[in-house]
Structure 1
Amino acid sequence: MDKMQLGPWTFTPGDYSIRDKAQRIELEPLLSKLLHYFIEHPGKIISRQQLVDAIWQQSYVDDNAINRAMSELRKALQHPDVPQSLIKTHHRKGYSLQLPHQPDAPIEPSADEKPKTSAGSTQYKRSIPLWLVALATLLLVGTAAVYYFSSQKPASLSKNSKLDDKPQVLQMDIVTRQKITWFKGIESRPLLSADKQLLAYSHSQPDGTVRAIVRKLGMGTGSALQEVVIEGNNSLYSIQTWQPLSRNLLVQAISKDGQRCEYQNYDFSKYPQYQVKTLTSCAGLNFGTAQQSADGQWLYYSKGSGGLYSSNALLAENLTTGAVQTLLAAPSAGLGVTMLALSADGSKLAYILMPESNKPDIYIYDPSSREHTRLASLPFPLILLGLDWSNDQSSLILPGGDGILQLKVADKTKSLLKFPEGVIVGELTLLAEDQAYISSFTAGSASQNAMQLIKIEQPFNAAKRKITVLSDTEGSTADLAVSPIDSSSYAFSANWTGSWQLWMNNKGQNVQLTELTPDDKRLSGINWSGDGRYIAFNKQGNLHLYDTQRQQLINKLESNDVGQAVWLPDNSGLVLTRLQGNSQNLWQLDLVSNELTQLTFSAGTFAQFDAQGQLHYHRDGKLLRYVDGGKNDIELKTNADTNFMALWLLQGQKQYRFGMLGHLELHDIVTGETQSSQLPYQLLAIHPDPHNPDQLYATVFVTPELALEFIQWKPKR
């Protein structure tokens, strides 16, 4: 019988075996028959009853027999080159075979009117650049995002060292540093065309307008600056990447209401004239970048199935046929696939995979061989906004904070170019090996002066709605929680003194509660105990309690792995999100004994209690009711609308959710009624008022001033 390819495995049904380059594994006849059936139905969800009818061919088969067979088949198919199981479980639906380059159903284009592309100057509000998804995700996760190597000292390593854990750190001096853009707002995501002649970047203006700008370089001294602006009054324009070997710029255009989205190709071969071609529709805001192949036939992008906080798969769409192939299935939790970068000749695709621990894995995918190779795994949770190739294509470049990490493709060795204090690199594009255009926008640094708290009265009644900015003090304010016993008091985090501290507003008066060590790490996850005595919050992965009676700070857990925390209904302890190794789960902390008990075993975040004291949590964009932390937990909601974050906030008998484009929704559990609203703000988080259902608070994004720079460096002597 013919051989069949399953990623790294070659399956030969005739002799009941699978084989890779190093080994041959003989399968039991039942497992061979089961695998053959899955291969005949690639990518399709097969129910347990279908398996019984086709494989066992009996009227009744014990569930344990099916479970055991699936477990043994998964175990047999395990392979170091395949990060996820080839057999995927679909809760209450069945199983499917997920193979590299396995076609899925094509994405259907939107039935709405397609957005228009214009070079005009009409402005609009309620727009948000795609990289702000990274910032909002960081805010939600509530863990410390520190650059992996920012604290490493220079190391002296031999040429033969594998450098598996620590990079060779090379101190750099800045030779040239100059500002190259001057617009108000955020100028970010610099991208150089293949011939290094055109520089594209994004510009977010203070009024919310988001546009793409393309500049001609090398025009000589005294020449007028020439730029082409892509903007319009109906859509935001997010630059993605330059197509390899060309002057074609890939742009994602999204309507301001979030209902229409498409990828567009801008041909600048005759700059400043250009031609626009719509490539395909898309699902809305996503965390990551898309890439068009050198021959123009394929579009590579990441996509989540449950909104902005669900895990992303790596997909390839054939732009001729519309067929979509899954190159890498989404992990069970975490952000999944984020940044993508094609090599200059288009032969290799690099990508960042964020598992549930949000500790990035760096991979290279070879479209010709369909092989995935992991280059590195970074040991700390962080969000990287940049990924590029070196000019000679021998290394991958990852900017972050005060350094640039270089990963050699051939031997997987690492080196870190460490810049002097004051140089922040969040995004970059290389002009030469020692020259780059950079943006200082990072997931952490840009948030220091870019967030404000607002109060919204009557949020679902446009005629009576009233929005108030809570403070005009210079600096950022972020998380907020209203006292459960006093409606006139709330605790919040603010960076008003050069570092993030816990503050309290009592009857309109602001009082600083903490004097934590000054740094730029945000204080988050504020939650009051039900009796109003303690305020829990986390900072740099550590749990703190503030005793409002004794006016005393208690350092409760200094484990560097704590995220969001919520109090138990009886105030005897807290339920925590903890990041340990590659897992992100819920744990319960007893306040008296300090004993920790693990609650979930297959990923869990954003714990909450409903009005009846029942624990709920989120996993991969789904809301679940806790039963045992495993398979018996009950799935209540899954997000199918990409306008919304896949996160529900429970307050009494009500469920809230929000979107970054200003979308707001309230669902009444008792009546079943759902209300929606559109706010003129870029929402990063919402904070319901437990005393007043007609009032809530929100963290909103305020556009800071960030310009692009050109830098040149050399080794420090």
Structure 2
Amino acid sequence: MNEVSFSRAVKEVKFGAWTLDPKRQTISDGEVTRELEPLLFKILCYLIINDEQIITRQDLVDDVWCQKYVDDNAINRAMSELRKVLKSERQKGLVVKTHYRKGYSFFLKAEVVYQDSLNNTSQDLSGFSSSMSNESNSIKTENSHTALKYGLSIICSFAVIFALYMITSHYEPLGNQKEQPVVVKSSFNEELLSWEPGRYLSTHLSPNENLLAYLFLPNEKEKAMLVIKNLTSNTEKKVAFQGAELFPLGWSFDSSKLFYRLMKDDKCEVWLVDSVIESTNKHLFECEKTLTIGAGVDEEHFVYTKRNYRGKDGLSALVSLNYKTGEEFQLTSPSLNTRGDIFLHYEPFLKKIFFQRWQLDSVQLYMTDLEGSNHEMLLESASPFYSINYISKDNTLMWFNSQSNTLHSYSLTKREIIKEINVESENMFAFSEVLSPKEVVVTSYPYKHSIYSYNLIENTLKPFVVNNGLPSNGVRGDKKTIFIQRNGRYNSINYIIDGQSTSHEIVRKENFIRGIRYSKLLDELLVRTQKNITLYSKERNVIEDFTVDGTILSSEFLLNGDLGYVVFNKELSQNNAFVYSLELKKSRKLPVSDIVWFDQLDDDTYLMLSSKDKLQYFDIKQGKVVKEITLNYSGRKHLIAIAKSKVFYSDGTSIFELQDSGFEKITSFTDKSIKELNYDEFSEGLVLSTNEVINNHLVSLKLQQRQPL
């Protein structure tokens, strides 16, 4: 594998008229400064570092895309975009050379300039990638090309996140394993670890597995406290500040200290507290309110998930912060066509960082080092991870899937899942920390899922479905509420007739149901899975069914009964919008890109939501976008509903109506968060699918007996 990017010792790289700033991922020619897309930045660094060789397409697939297959069109498009970016009034000559039927090479001579504090010299990159040494030789010959090559590395609201985790499908590895894992079922003893009534949230296990930090909100209290529990002695240390909101972030590498977030008077700070009972709290640095997870990897660096990456809601990257100097160094560079990277675990024994990358159609488990080099994808899953732990005795990673109550073991030696233990329990669990192959600490499920009707005239809320299992994606039919029901290893679509409490099943699917819609005009139900759209009649007969090449991100009934849907094509790394004609039985592609959702506003206009958090008005007759509105940063999923040419929007806590002057707030909620927003054609109101936090327990699950399935 060739090196991909520069170490943090590199201050800048000069070539032609351009100066590359690896930290900011920008190029400047003195007049123009351009921020590079993550993919283009990686390709440019890769070509510069390996400038003495021809880079083949397969090299790009293996080392830059890090995938088994990438469509040639995606590579062609990326190289074309890179060439455009590298042209300016000052740099008109060739930068990247194409070798016919061979590949690409970097044409210019590059000069590396190092940070003054590390090295006051600059170095020509000629011959830079010609050789590689082992670590010991690298240390002894620090100024040699070989050592420099070795030193290169890739610079590449918690309730909302966990609720999303819980409504995804059960864990399912994607791709082929060498061997099928051993699957067993087991009974566990459930032991309460705390009897105090309240809400137990956001658990963090220390690296030495002796301490558990969590957030606890006692009954009738407005602010939660931070608790550090010694799992051996059962003693507790509680941290609280009057008028402040605390939130645990993660542990230091030696388990001696806990990092936590303190918010008060709109100020956000990160503090450090010793794990011993009698200790002091130490202020470290100012922070963003979106900071929710990280870990101390040495005496001065804190690795964490940085949200609002590149100004995009919901996109995040991993960053290493020196909290003594304030200098940040980016460890990962996720594509804008993903949901980004989330920190999971730092393992001091391996000196490795584990994180998950949320693709639009899957979640990938990655491992990297403290420099962010040698990113290795270990596993691709249909559902995300809450936490993982490393078991040194077996060289395995373990995690607990709270939806399916399954304990998974992944061998770092074999690079595959080797065991799955199904826990026999009727209870639902949430946050989880694996102590050993025989014990897991969990919280019982802390949320109530409900579906409400919001009357736009009277501004009142009426419950339709209250905590009936895990209801989501509520829509209204004629005198009934239709919703998706999560049932562990399968999904079903159910309905409840108004005034009744009994749930009736319409259809059951093993595939994860991603969304439903109901058309009053057609009296039909639309069901969307990852790659399939199915229409059901009121008699529950299938009247339309088609599969797409890619992942369906959204789907809607349009005004004339046709279907509008958006597909993410992983190989091309792009989103495409389509209109499916029920009469012609075929789809036509719309001339737009980077769209994640659209619906029909009126006869002449489609309303679209772009991946860059903009509402776009698409003129159907002109075939182009004629107006854009930038949405405010939310940190949550943007929710939009169209109601007879009126546009309603929710950021998860409030509902707004779009007026000529902007968004006008209709209502806000403090006791619930809005997960889905739909229009009720029958009552002409809104349908809200919500989550509310409720009391739960902190529980230890101890393995009793196992038997193969």
- Both proteins in one fold, TM over 0.5: yes
1:573 partnered with 2:543:
no
User: Does the C-alpha gap of structure 1 residues 324 and 618 become closer, same or farther in structure 2, counting only changes over 3 Å?
Assistant: same
Question: What residue ranges of structure 1 are gaps of 5+ in the alignment?
Answer: 19-30, 53-68, 97-101, 104-128, 153-162, 220-224
Q: Is the 8 A contact 2:534 2:545 kept in 1?
A: yes
User: Does the C-alpha gap of structure 1 residues 300 and 74 become closer, same or farther in structure 2, counting only changes over 3 Å?
Assistant: closer
Q: Is the 8 A contact 2:506 2:540 kept in 1?
A: no
User: Does the C-alpha gap of structure 1 residues 552 and 238 become closer, same or farther in structure 2, counting only changes over 3 Å?
Assistant: same
Aligned residue runs from structure 1 range 630-669, under 5 A: 636-642=628-634, 645-651=637-643, 654-660=646-652, 662-668=653-659
Q: Is the 8 A contact 2:398 2:408 kept in 1?
A: yes
Q: Residue in 1 aligned with 2:163?
A: 135
Task: Report the secondary structure of 2:163's partner residue.
Answer: helix
Q: How many residues align?
A: 601
Measure the CA separation in 1 of the matches of 2:322 and 2:172.
36
Measure the CA separation in 1 of the matches of 2:284 and 2:79.
32
Deviation of 1:200 after TM superposition, in Å, equals 2.0
1:267 partnered with 2:267:
no
Equivalent residue for 2:356, pick from 340, 352, 357: 352
Measure the CA separation in 1 of the matches of 2:341 and 2:42.
26
User: Does the C-alpha gap of structure 1 residues 356 and 619 become closer, same or farther in structure 2, counting only changes over 3 Å?
Assistant: same
Deviation of 1:711 after TM superposition, in Å, equals 2.0
Task: Report the secondary structure of 2:507's partner residue.
Answer: coil
Measure the CA separation in 1 of the matches of 2:626 and 2:87.
19
Measure the CA separation in 2 of the matches of 1:381 and 1:604.
22
1:243 partnered with 2:257:
no
User: Does the C-alpha gap of structure 1 residues 340 and 702 become closer, same or farther in structure 2, counting only changes over 3 Å?
Assistant: same
Q: Residue in 2 aligned with 1:710?
A: 701
User: Does the C-alpha gap of structure 1 residues 292 and 627 become closer, same or farther in structure 2, counting only changes over 3 Å?
Assistant: farther
Q: Is the 8 A contact 1:211 1:231 kept in 2?
A: yes
| Amino acid in structure 2 at the alignment position of 1:529 | S
User: Does the C-alpha gap of structure 1 residues 580 and 440 become closer, same or farther in structure 2, counting only changes over 3 Å?
Assistant: farther
Per-residue CA deviations over 1:231-274 (Å, capped at 9, x if unaligned) read 5674543322221113211223446x9x54333222223x1x33
Q: Is the 8 A contact 1:312 1:331 kept in 2?
A: no
Measure the CA separation in 2 of the matches of 1:542 and 1:235.
47
Q: Residue in 2 aligned with 1:25?
A: none
User: Does the C-alpha gap of structure 1 residues 131 and 41 become closer, same or farther in structure 2, counting only changes over 3 Å?
Assistant: closer
Deviation of 1:322 after TM superposition, in Å, equals 1.8
User: Does the C-alpha gap of structure 1 residues 170 and 536 become closer, same or farther in structure 2, counting only changes over 3 Å?
Assistant: closer
Measure the CA separation in 1 of the matches of 2:580 and 2:515.
16
Deviation of 1:702 after TM superposition, in Å, equals 2.9
| Amino acid in structure 2 at the alignment position of 1:362 | L
Deviation of 1:349 after TM superposition, in Å, equals 1.3
1:191 partnered with 2:189:
no
Task: Report the secondary structure of 1:80's partner residue.
Answer: helix
Q: Is the 8 A contact 2:656 2:663 kept in 1?
A: no
Equivalent residue for 1:283, pick from 284, 288, 312: 288
User: Does the C-alpha gap of structure 1 residues 333 and 632 become closer, same or farther in structure 2, counting only changes over 3 Å?
Assistant: farther
Q: Is the 8 A contact 1:201 1:212 kept in 2?
A: yes
User: Does the C-alpha gap of structure 1 residues 178 and 455 become closer, same or farther in structure 2, counting only changes over 3 Å?
Assistant: same
| Amino acid in structure 1 at the alignment position of 2:517 | N
Deviation of 1:341 after TM superposition, in Å, equals 1.0
Per-residue CA deviations over 1:179-226 (Å, capped at 9, x if unaligned) read 43445565354433344432223346687864432222333xxxxx53
| Amino acid in structure 2 at the alignment position of 1:613 | T
Measure the CA separation in 1 of the matches of 2:465 and 2:552.
29
| Amino acid in structure 1 at the alignment position of 2:160 | L
Moved more, 643-652 or 347-356: 643-652
Equivalent residue for 1:374, pick from 373, 376, 379: 376
Moved more, 331-340 or 306-315: 306-315
User: Does the C-alpha gap of structure 1 residues 435 and 528 become closer, same or farther in structure 2, counting only changes over 3 Å?
Assistant: closer
Measure the CA separation in 2 of the matches of 1:569 and 1:495.
28
Equivalent residue for 2:438, pick from 435, 439, 449: 435
Equivalent residue for 1:147, pick from 165, 171, 184: 171
Measure the CA separation in 2 of the matches of 1:165 and 1:620.
39
User: Does the C-alpha gap of structure 1 residues 306 and 636 become closer, same or farther in structure 2, counting only changes over 3 Å?
Assistant: farther
| Amino acid in structure 2 at the alignment position of 1:250 | F
| Amino acid in structure 2 at the alignment position of 1:672 | G
Per-residue CA deviations over 1:492-551 (Å, capped at 9, x if unaligned) read 316599974343656x678977532388x8866332336253232336765333434x66
Deviation of 1:457 after TM superposition, in Å, equals 4.2
Measure the CA separation in 2 of the matches of 1:579 and 1:70.
22
| Amino acid in structure 2 at the alignment position of 1:454 | Y
Q: Residue in 1 aligned with 2:475?
A: 481
Q: Residue in 2 aligned with 1:501?
A: 493
| Amino acid in structure 2 at the alignment position of 1:352 | Q
Q: Residue in 1 aligned with 2:91?
A: none
| Amino acid in structure 2 at the alignment position of 1:343 | E
User: Does the C-alpha gap of structure 1 residues 9 and 703 become closer, same or farther in structure 2, counting only changes over 3 Å?
Assistant: closer
Measure the CA separation in 1 of the matches of 2:183 and 2:578.
40
Measure the CA separation in 2 of the matches of 1:88 and 1:300.
34
Per-residue CA deviations over 1:384-423 (Å, capped at 9, x if unaligned) read 2112222459333333234333344455343233234438
Measure the CA separation in 1 of the matches of 2:674 and 2:240.
24
Aligned residue runs from structure 1 range 665-680, under 5 A: 665-668=656-659, 670-672=660-662, 674-675=664-665, 677-680=667-670
Task: Report the secondary structure of 2:374's partner residue.
Answer: strand
Equivalent residue for 2:314, pick from 310, 317, 324: 310
User: Does the C-alpha gap of structure 1 residues 244 and 702 become closer, same or farther in structure 2, counting only changes over 3 Å?
Assistant: same
| Amino acid in structure 2 at the alignment position of 1:145 | S
Measure the CA separation in 2 of the matches of 1:539 and 1:205.
40
Task: Report the secondary structure of 2:671's partner residue.
Answer: coil
1:213 partnered with 2:202:
no
Measure the CA separation in 2 of the matches of 1:597 and 1:298.
49
Moved more, 332-341 or 618-627: 618-627
Measure the CA separation in 2 of the matches of 1:94 and 1:252.
41
Measure the CA separation in 2 of the matches of 1:9 and 1:676.
48
Deviation of 1:574 after TM superposition, in Å, equals 3.4
Deviation of 1:451 after TM superposition, in Å, equals 0.8
Measure the CA separation in 1 of the matches of 2:354 and 2:302.
15
Moved more, 71-80 or 301-310: 71-80
User: Does the C-alpha gap of structure 1 residues 586 and 614 become closer, same or farther in structure 2, counting only changes over 3 Å?
Assistant: closer
Measure the CA separation in 1 of the matches of 2:194 and 2:637.
33
Measure the CA separation in 2 of the matches of 1:88 and 1:249.
47
Per-residue CA deviations over 1:479-498 (Å, capped at 9, x if unaligned) read 23356xxxx85643165999
Q: Is the 8 A contact 1:589 1:596 kept in 2?
A: yes
TM-score normalised by structure 2 residue count: 0.69
Task: Report the secondary structure of 1:406's partner residue.
Answer: strand
Measure the CA separation in 2 of the matches of 1:79 and 1:558.
27
Deviation of 1:306 after TM superposition, in Å, equals 7.4
1:556 partnered with 2:545:
yes
Per-residue CA deviations over 1:72-127 (Å, capped at 9, x if unaligned) read 9689464734448999989x99999xxxxx99xxxxxxxxxxxxxxxxxxxxxxxx
Q: Is the 8 A contact 1:313 1:330 kept in 2?
A: yes
Equivalent residue for 2:675, pick from 673, 682, 685: 685
Question: What residue ranges of structure 2 are gaps of 5+ in the alignment?
Answer: 35-39, 49-59, 67-74, 89-113, 116-156
Q: Is the 8 A contact 1:638 1:646 kept in 2?
A: no
1:334 partnered with 2:313:
no
Q: Residue in 1 aligned with 2:261?
A: 252
Measure the CA separation in 1 of the matches of 2:30 and 2:556.
38
Q: Residue in 2 aligned with 1:114?
A: none
Q: Is the 8 A contact 1:688 1:696 kept in 2?
A: yes
Structure (1 or 2) with the greater strand fraction: 2
